[in-house]
């Protein structure tokens, strides 16, 4: 169902709901210069109608030059399954693309949140987009972002984004690994937060063939003109199950590469709820 779909240039698509969208060479859903307050909910994007087999688009959802859009929603019927796409499940880009929300989706898994149907990257924030929120303020698997080949979430040259309340690298129960290559990959990006006090993520089970499948990787590119700085990692469970009692390991818990301690920001903190539960390795590599 498409509600309030207006074809005049510059006007807004209000709701894209309940569709099967697959096998487009570009993006399954592409919003560009569409104002804001669009909602994309209840769709299978990159899969068959059953949500069990990948029939990928290039990107699943692409948003360029638009603010305050919602992908998913709070209700179960709002969930999108965004899986099987050749490039990104969700691609949000551009400095005129801000304050978008991604909530309640299965990204990189089948409709049951139990088996991998990989995108290359689950959610990609890039090209100086900012202020986006991936998840919500409860560690409840708000989004299940798992099974993706390169990364569950990649933040590149992007600022002031928040990742909270997601299961990244596990099934929908937060118990069984469905590995991303890297859970959250932050490169050449500033002022981004992976969790907040009491509002963290479950980031577990992320592995790859090189044994560098970090739960969180924070790095700068060589000679970057926009090196990573002021990243905060707080309130997360990294390398455990949902309960925090059973090990569900990443190859590396947190990997910091080519970024000085003074520029990272904060991992944990001194206040109640700031700390991360990390079952695995905190590794730093400097060129």
Q: What is the DSSP string of 171-191?
A: -TTS-SB---SSSEEEES-BS
**pTM surpassing 0.85?**
yes
Domain assignment present for 11: no
Domain assignment present for 7: no
Domain assignment present for 4: no
First to last CA, the chain: 52
- Band (pLDDT 50/70/90 cuts) for residue 186 is very high
Domain assignment present for 240: yes
CB 183 within 8 A of CB 168: yes
Domain assignment present for 9: no
Residue of 284 and 32 predicted with greater confidence: 32
Would you call 245 exposed, middle or buried from its count of C-beta atoms within 10 A (0-12, 13-18, 19+)? exposed
Q: Please report the pLDDT score of residue 9 as a whole number.
A: 46
Angstrom CA distances, 183 to 5, 27, 40, stand at: 35, 23, 24
- Taking the C-alpha atoms of residue 101 and residue 99, their distance in angstroms, rounded to an integer, is 7
Above 70 in pLDDT, residue 259? no
Domain assignment present for 6: no
Q: Please report the pLDDT score of residue 2 as a whole number.
A: 39
Domain assignment present for 214: yes
CB 213 within 8 A of CB 179: yes
- Taking the C-alpha atoms of residue 251 and residue 208, their distance in angstroms, rounded to an integer, is 8
Domain of residue 250 covers: 16-285
Q: Compute the C-alpha angle 148/152/153, nearest 5°.
A: 145
- Band (pLDDT 50/70/90 cuts) for residue 263 is low
3-12, 56-65, 180-189: range with lowest mean pLDDT: 3-12
Q: Please report the pLDDT score of residue 265 as a whole number.
A: 82
CB 106 within 8 A of CB 141: no
Above 60 in pLDDT, residue 287? no
If one counts the domains in the chain, the total is 1
DSSP-derived secondary structure for 89-114: EEEEESTT-BS-EEES-EESB-TTSS
Q: Please report the pLDDT score of residue 209 as a whole number.
A: 80
Above 90 in pLDDT, residue 140? no
Domain assignment present for 10: no
Q: Compute the C-alpha angle 153/190/28, nearest 5°.
A: 35
Above 90 in pLDDT, residue 102? yes
- Band (pLDDT 50/70/90 cuts) for residue 12 is low
């Amino acid at each position: 169902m498409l509600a309030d779909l207006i074809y005049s240039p510059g006007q807004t698509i209000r709701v894209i709901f309940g569709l099967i969208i697959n096998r487009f060479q570009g993006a399954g859903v592409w919003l560009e210069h569409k104002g804001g307050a669009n909602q994309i909910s209840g769709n299978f994007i990159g899969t068959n109608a059953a949500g069990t087999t990948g029939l990928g688009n290039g990107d699943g959802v692409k948003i360029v030059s638009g603010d305050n859009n919602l992908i998913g929603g709070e209700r179960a019927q709002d969930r999108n399954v965004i899986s099987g796409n050749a490039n990104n499940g969700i691609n949000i880009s551009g400095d005129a693309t801000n304050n978008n929300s991604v909530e309640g989706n299965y990204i990189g898994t089948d409709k049951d949140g139990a088996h991998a149907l990989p995108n290359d990257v689950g959610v990609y924030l890039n090209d100086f987009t900012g202020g986006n929120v991936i998840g919500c303020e409860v560690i409840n698997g708000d989004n299940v972002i798992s099974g993706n080949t390169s990364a569950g979430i990649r933040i590149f040259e992007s600022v002031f984004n928040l990742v909270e309340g997601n299961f990244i690298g596990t099934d929908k129960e937060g118990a069984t690994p469905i590995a991303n290559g890297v859970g959250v990959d932050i490169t050449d990006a500033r002022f981004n937060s992976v969790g907040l006090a009491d509002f963290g993520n479950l980031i577990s089970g992320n592995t790859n063939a090189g044994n560098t499948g970090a739960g969180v990787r924070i790095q700068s590119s060589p000679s970057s003109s926009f090196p990573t700085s002021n990243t905060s990692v707080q309130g997360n469970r990294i390398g455990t199950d949902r309960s925090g009692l059973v090990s569900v390991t990443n190859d590396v818990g947190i990997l910091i590469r080519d970024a000085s301690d003074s520029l990272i920001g904060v991992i944990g903190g001194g206040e109640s709820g700031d700390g991360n539960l990390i079952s695995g390795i905190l590794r730093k590599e400097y060129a």
